Amino acid sequence: MNNTVIAVDPGGSYRLYLTVTTEMVQEAKNIHKTTNLATAALGRVLTGAGLMGLMLKDEDSTLTVQVKGDGPGVEILASADGRGRVKGYIADPDVELPLKADGKLDVGGAVGKGTLTVIKDLKLKEPYLGRIDLVSGEIAEDLAHYFLLSEQQPSSVALGVRIGPDLNVQAAGGMILQILPGAQEACLDALEERIAALGSLTEHIPRIHSPAELMDRILGDLPPPYRPRVLEERNIRWHCGCSEERMEKALISIGEKDLEQLIREDGGAEIVCQFCLGKYQFDRKKMEALLREARHE
C-alpha cells in the first residue's frame, strides 16, 4: 500500500509531501539494533531523505543526506532514490541520553553542533552538493533551513518518530510543505495556523489508515480554495540494494596495492555493508581474480 501523498492546492500556493514511515523506521531499527534515541534520530533522517528522493525528477537519481555533529551520535546518513527506496545508518546505534524536559528524545543532543550536507547525483557530470550549519540538530528544522539557504525554497518540515512501550516504533512520518512562488497571503496564513495547531505528527498516525486521511486531519478543514488535492501517491520503503557484484567493484576500486596487501596479510576479505550489515566473504582465489581485474589482465 502507498504510504505517501504528494498534493497541491487549487490556487498553486503550496505543494505538500506527506508520508507515514512507521514500517521503514522499524526495519531500520531491526537491522541496526538502535536505542530509542538512535531510532528517532535515524528515523527522522531516513524519512526526510525519503521525501526528498521523491522530489528528484528522474527515478534513477539518488540523494544522500548526511548529518554530522559533535554529539555522541556522531553521524547519521541516509540515501534515497527517486523510486522511494531508502537506506541509512547512524554511527553510534547505542547512543543514549536523558529525555528532554518536555519528555521527548533528545535528538538535538545526540547530534550536537555540526553540518547537514545534501549530495544529489542527478546523472550529470558533477554531483550537486549543498551544506549548511545545523540549527538545532533536531533534523526537521535543519532541513527547512537547508531548503531555504541552499535551494531558495521556503518550506515547513515536520519529522517524527514515536517509540511505543514495547520499544518498537509506534509511529513515524514526515511532512514537507513547500511554499510556491506567488503563493496567496491568505492561504499561507491559514496554513500557518493549521501547522501551529498540528502538535506532533506522530500523535495522529496511530489513528489514521492512509496518508490521505492524515492529510485530511491536518489540512482538511482549510477553506475550500486552499484545501490540498492529491496529485500522486507514492511509497517510501527500506531497500539496500547491495550485492556481491557491487562489493567486487568496490574491492577492485581500492587498487592493486591494497588488494595485494589484503591477500598477503588476511588471505581474503570480508566486507560488511554499512547500510544493511550484510556480510560478503571473498576468499584468496576470488581476491586473486579481482586483483587480475584491477591490473586489467
Task: Return residues touching Zn ion (CB under 5 A).
Answer: 240, 242, 273, 275-276, 278
Which residue lies nearer to Zn ion by CB, 186 or 272? 272
Contact 248, 290 (CB under 8 A): yes
14 versus 275: smaller Cβ distance to Zn ion: 275
What is the Cα–Cα distance from 37 to 147, expressed in whole angstroms?
Answer: 25
Please identify, using beta-carbon distances, which residue of 88 and 174 lies nearer to Zn ion.
88
Nearest approach, Cβ of residue 79 and Zn ion (Å): 11
Please name the residue that has the C-alpha cell 547512524. Answer: 90
What is residue 207's DSSP assignment?
A: G
For residues 17 and 275, which CB has a smaller minimum distance to Zn ion in the complex?
A: 275
Burial class, 48, CB count within 10 angstroms (exposed 0-12 / middle 13-18 / buried 19+): buried
Whichever of 99 and 250 has its CB closer to Zn ion, that residue is: 250
Sequence-separated (6 or more) residues with CB below 8 Å from residue 250: 271
Do the beta carbons of residue 259 and residue 226 sit within 8 Å?
A: no
Dist CA 128 CA 266 (whole Å): 38
CB of 90 to Zn ion, least distance (A): 15
